[in-house]
Each structure stands twice: as structure tokens, then as C-alpha cells.
Amino acid sequence: MGKKALKQFNEAVKFLKKQYKETPSVGIVLGSGLGNFIEEIEVEKEVAYEDIPNFPVSTVEGHKSYLVFGKLSGKTVVAMAGRFHYYEGYEAQDVIFPIRVMKLLGVQTLLLSNAAGTVNPSHKVGDIMIINDHISFFTPNPLIGKNIAELGTRFPDMSEPYKKHLIEKAKAIALTHNYDVKEGVYVAVTGPTFETRAEYHFIKVIGADVVGMSTVQECIAANHMGMDVFAMSVVTDIGIIEHDHAITHEEVLEAAKNAEPKLATIFRELVAAI
Ligand code: HPA
């Protein structure tokens, strides 16, 4: 694991091209509690991570860990059933390995989702927030190390990490369904601890709306390669809260599950509109 050269990506891509002949144009990565979206896909091929050369392998027992190829809204897509988190002990370069492979397979648009805690007082549990920007200073930048020039430039621009045209389309879709969708800034932290009260306060002060343990490294890798990224958070807990309240993983999963149908509708219709 760890440092990867172009050759290792190409080996994975060559293997996957043999498994599935069509070229996916959209890649999908699903957040905690949001994995059922996979069922929206007309599955044509599933490939276990452990069979793909150089792919990181999930260490968590019972975790889904395969790529799904198939059709969604008439488009050819590839989705990750099971994503890699930095807090699990993967290096940042392993977390983004699948994203790079997706691009080399032909994926141009990347859709990401996650569960997140909010520090914005106008948010409530179960809200969906379209991410329009992020702060990545608290997790290692996955591009640290020798640049792979074939994938992208040494110093990538990050002025539009989440594409405005995709955000506008998603907002229009939300409007037609009367979904009250929020928009804002995601800050990534390593986890696996949830934040202390002081940390939630700090997150609010620095200009973020929600906080989570994923997405940003994947978004950076995708931008490096010139992919169009769209991402949504489901607000699963209120970070800044005055009375005593302990956040649990169970409540995060429950809130995510409840919001999932809305998120699924937005993803489905967005893919149709791409
Ligand atoms: N903090 C960090 N990650 C999270 C949270 C949170 O409050 N909720 C869900 N993922």
C-alpha cells in the first residue's frame, strides 16, 4: 500500500476493462448509511476489490467492498460499494486509488455523498446540503509525494472544486421535488472521534457549515485529473448544541437512512441531466 506509480493504476484499469467492456462516464461514491443507492443501478458487473490488482482491500469485516458497473438513468456508471476512509488506517494515496482508476476507465463526472455533522444553526438533522466548497487543512493532501504528470499538474487549481453547473442542476432538481436543500462548506477531519465542543465551535468560526471524515481527498484527486465533481452531505447530527448530547454512530446511520430517498432522487436525475 502507499505510494503508487502510474503502472499500478494501469494494471488495475487493464484488469477492469477485461471484466467490463463499456466505458463508464459517471463514478459514484456513497457515504455512511447511504450505500443502498447501489440498488438504483441496473447492475451489469460486480468486481470485488480484492480481485483488482493493486486495489486497497477493506479490512472491516462485513463491509461491502466491490465495484459495481451498470446503468443509471440510461448512463453507464461505476459505483463503489464501500469506500476507504483515512481513519481506517489507509494512506491518503490508497483512499484515492479508486478515484484515479475511475478516471483512467473514462469517468468524467464524480458524484460523492457523505454523512456529516453540522455547525450551521439553520440546519437540522436529515437535511441535505450540496457542498459548494471545502476546507482540507486537517487531513493529509493525497497529492503529497511525487506528482504523476500523466494524471495532472503539480499544483492543481482548486477554485471550483465542486462544479457550479452541477450544483445549479441539482438545485433545480431539488426545487421540482420541493426538497429544502441547503448549500455550504464541508470541512474534512481525520476522525474517528467526533469533535469536542471546542472543535465544533472552531469549525464554525473558520467558515465551515458541516464536518465529516471523507470526500475531500477524493475531490482533490478528481480535480487533479480534471474530473467534474458534485457532492452532497446528509446532516446526521448537530455539532454545536448547548445542552448535553453525545453523538453516536447509530444515530448518524439512522439519520442518513432517512434522508437517502431524497439524495437518491437528486443523484438519479442529475445523472440523467449530465
Ligand atoms: N463529525 C465528523 N464526522 C461526522 C459527523 C460529525 O459530527 N457526523 C457524521 N460524520
Q: Which three cell numbers stand for residue 17?
A: 476493462
Nearest atom within ligand 1 for CA of residue 117: 7
Q: Is 125 in the pocket of ligand 1 (CB under 6 A)?
A: no
Residue with CA nearest ligand 1 atom 9? 116
* CA–centroid distance, residue 129 to ligand 1 (Å): 14
pTM of the full structure: 0.94
Lowest mean pLDDT, pick from 19-23, 156-160, 201-205, 255-259: 255-259
Determine the 3-state secondary structure of 87 from DSSP. Answer: helix
Task: Name the residue of 247, 248, 254, 258 whose CB sits within 8 Å of the most ligand 1 atoms, as the mutation to test its pocket.
Answer: 247
Residue nearest to atom 10 of ligand 1 (CA): 116
- State whether the beta carbon of 79 lies less than 6 angstroms from ligand 1: no
- The burial class, CB within 10 Å (0-12 / 13-18 / 19+), for 130 is buried
Between the CA of 97 and the centroid of ligand 1 the distance, in Å, is: 23
- Cβ(222) – ligand 1 distance below 6 Å: no
What average pLDDT does this structure show over 231-258?
A: 80
Specify the range with the lowest mean pLDDT, choosing from 43-52, 169-178, 248-257: 248-257
Is a pLDDT exceeding 60 seen at residue 168?
Answer: yes
Q: Cβ(161) to ligand 1 under 6 A?
A: no
**Does 243 have pLDDT greater than 70?**
no
C-alpha cell at 217: 481527498
- Please work out whether the CB of residue 31 comes within 6 Å of at least one atom of ligand 1: no
Of all protein residues, the one whose alpha carbon is nearest to atom 7 of ligand 1 is: 117
User: Domains of the chain: which residue ranges?
Assistant: 2-14+23-213+221-273
pLDDT tier for residue 253 given thresholds of 50, 70 and 90: confident
Percent of the chain with pLDDT over 90: 80
Q: Residue whose CA is closest, atom 2 of ligand 1?
A: 212
Asked if 208 and 122 count as a contact pair (C-beta separation under 8 A), the reply is no
In this structure, are strands 66-72 and 42-48 parallel, antiparallel, or unpaired? antiparallel
Burial zone of 22 (CB within 10 Å; 0-12 exposed, 13-18 middle, 19+ buried): middle
Region class of 30: left (phi > 0), else alpha (psi between -120 and 50), else beta = beta
The CATH class, in words, for 2-14+23-213+221-273 is: alpha beta
Task: Note the pLDDT tens digit of each residue in 122-159.
Answer: 999 999 999 999 999 999 999 999 999 999 999 999 99
